[in-house]
């Protein structure tokens, strides 16, 4: 796609917004799974208040469901088109997405995106661009597909303290885990089934190694707690090394293995964020979230527990979130980011109780188990407490060694935490 300087004289300001009765004129950038879902939804909902006027794609040789004359192959043309009211960016290239979105925001334009990796990596800058230039960026589609979790956190819980936000936010890995649990299948055939059904990519690394849910957790942290994190600060452990042995171990305690993104406000007022496999008990709402579905539990100080569940991926579920953002833009909605700047610090000085299965004994020394409660040499697993910082430091080594790690849900203060706050005890997260 061609390049356009933010200060280019070719960049035209959008024309005045249409009257409330007129539909928003949408420029759609990308026509993959989500882009086609958005297009189809707006085509089937002529009274939705928005219509696609132009579509930009990258590859002119790709066969698509619309005739070639329906597309332009230069996304910058849409940024410079004054007859478009909203730009909807749904491409899979995070770097190019940031270039397009940031350029649009510098010129005060309204943008909707579904690119969670781009938003998570550049959220602080994207917020600043909106504040400086008056543009608007909405990204409900970037987290949990059809579940309105970002709007809920930003608008409904913008003032209320939250004890935790935790959930299954990646449908691909959840589908694989469901098939393993139901059929007793190993990881490889369960993944192949997910790929065949379109729930997992040909290269499944982003989903199965938990990079995708990590990006979503970073976005949720900004809206739930007002903390802007770098993705690298957040522990992400995936399921690419899981085996039927691990599923069976969880089943002995009537538990399931789920990849859980957890944001926890600790008793001393600090925040921690984790994305790992976790043993989930039947008394948790997340226990029954299976297949490609997502589910999020919000524990609020005054409202109590809230549970949101819905389809987390796919063209139509994600497209429905884009549709909701377009409707919100018609009402001049923008994120309040009410909690940004709150005096809340982020900590990794904790110890997590984990289940670790590995053939590499050196990993036990590297992780520095401080307390071992269970060990089975024949199955190659150990259960005990390890420092969160050690897991962060050695997460790549764990992945390469074929190790599988799952949290039990228990957390206790680390060394510094214990010295500064001797009253702190183990908590369940």
- Calpha distance 250→232 (Å, rounded): 29
Q: At what angle do helices 187-196 and 171-183 cross, to 10 degrees?
A: 130
Cα-flanking dihedrals φ and ψ of residue 348, to 5°? -120, 10
**Packing angle between helix 94-106 and helix 116-133, nearest 10 degrees?**
10
What CA–CA distance (Å, rounded) separates 154 from 141? 14
CA distances from 275 to 163, 166, 235, 246, 262 (A): 17, 9, 6, 18, 6
First to last CA, the chain: 45
CB 87 within 8 A of CB 106: no
For residues 17 and 84, what is the distance between their CA atoms, to the nearest angstrom? 9
Whether 58 is catalytic:
no
Q: Which of 370, 380, 358 is nearest to 417 (CA)?
A: 370
Dist. CA 119–CA 53, nearest whole Å: 25
Q: What is the DSSP letter of 154?
A: I
Active-site residue, from 216, 256, 258, 353: 216
Q: How far is CA 363 from CA 77, 244, 257, 404, in A?
A: 53, 21, 22, 11
DSSP code at position 17: P
353 beta partners: 385
Cβ-contact 256, 176 below 8 angstroms = no
For 268, the token pair is 């001393």
- In whole angstroms, give the CA distance from residue 51 to residue 38: 10
Q: How far is CA 394 from CA 76, 173, 204, 271, in A?
A: 42, 22, 21, 22
d(C-alpha 176, C-alpha 189), whole Å: 9
List active site positions: 216
């Amino acid at each position: 796609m061609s390049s356009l300087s933010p200060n280019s004289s070719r960049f035209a300001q959008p024309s005045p917004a249409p009257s409330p009765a007129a539909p928003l004129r949408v420029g759609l950038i990308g026509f993959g799974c989500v882009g086609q879902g958005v297009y189809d939804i707006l085509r089937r909902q002529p009274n939705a208040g928005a219509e696609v006027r132009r579509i930009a794609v990258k590859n002119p040789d790709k066969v698509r469901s619309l005739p070639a004359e329906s597309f332009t192959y230069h996304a910058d043309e849409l940024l410079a088109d004054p007859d478009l009211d909203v730009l909807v960016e749904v491409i899979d290239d995070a770097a190019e997405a940031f270039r397009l979105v940031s350029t649009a925001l510098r010129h005060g334009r309204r943008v909707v995106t579904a690119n969670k990796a781009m938003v998570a990596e550049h959220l602080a800058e994207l917020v600043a661009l909106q504040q400086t230039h008056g543009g608007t960026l909405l990204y409900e589609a970037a987290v949990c597909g059809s579940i309105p979790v970002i709007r809920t956190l930003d608008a409904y819980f913008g003032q209320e303290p939250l004890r935790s936000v935790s959930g299954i936010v990646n449908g691909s890995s959840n589908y694989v885990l469901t098939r393993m649990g139901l059929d007793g299948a190993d990881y490889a055939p369960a993944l192949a089934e997910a790929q065949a059904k379109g729930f997992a990519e040909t290269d499944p690394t982003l989903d199965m190694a938990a990079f995708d849910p990590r990006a979503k957790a970073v976005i949720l942290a900004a809206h739930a707690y007002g903390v802007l994190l770098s993705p690298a600060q957040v522990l992400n452990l995936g399921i690419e090394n899981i085996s039927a042995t691990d599923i069976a171990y969880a089943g002995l305690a009537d538990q399931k293995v789920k990849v859980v993104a957890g944001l926890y406000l600790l008793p001393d007022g600090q925040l921690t964020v984790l994305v790992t496999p976790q043993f989930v008990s039947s008394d948790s709402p997340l226990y029954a979230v299976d297949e490609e579905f997502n589910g999020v539990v919000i524990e609020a100080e005054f409202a109590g527990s809230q549970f949101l569940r819905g389809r987390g991926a796919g063209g139509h579920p994600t497209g429905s979130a884009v549709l909701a953002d377009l409707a919100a833009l018609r009402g001049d909605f923008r994120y309040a980011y009410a909690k940004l700047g709150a005096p809340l610090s982020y900590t990794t000085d904790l110890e997590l109780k984990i289940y670790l299965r590995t053939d590499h004994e050196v990993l036990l020394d590297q992780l520095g188990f401080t307390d071992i409660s269970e060990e089975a040499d024949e199955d190659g697993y150990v259960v005990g407490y390890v420092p969160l910082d050690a897991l962060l430091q050695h997460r790549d080594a764990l992945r390469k060694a074929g190790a599988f790690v799952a949290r039990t849900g228990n957390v206790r203060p680390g060394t510094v935490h214990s010295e500064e706050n001797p009253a702190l005890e183990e908590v369940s997260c």
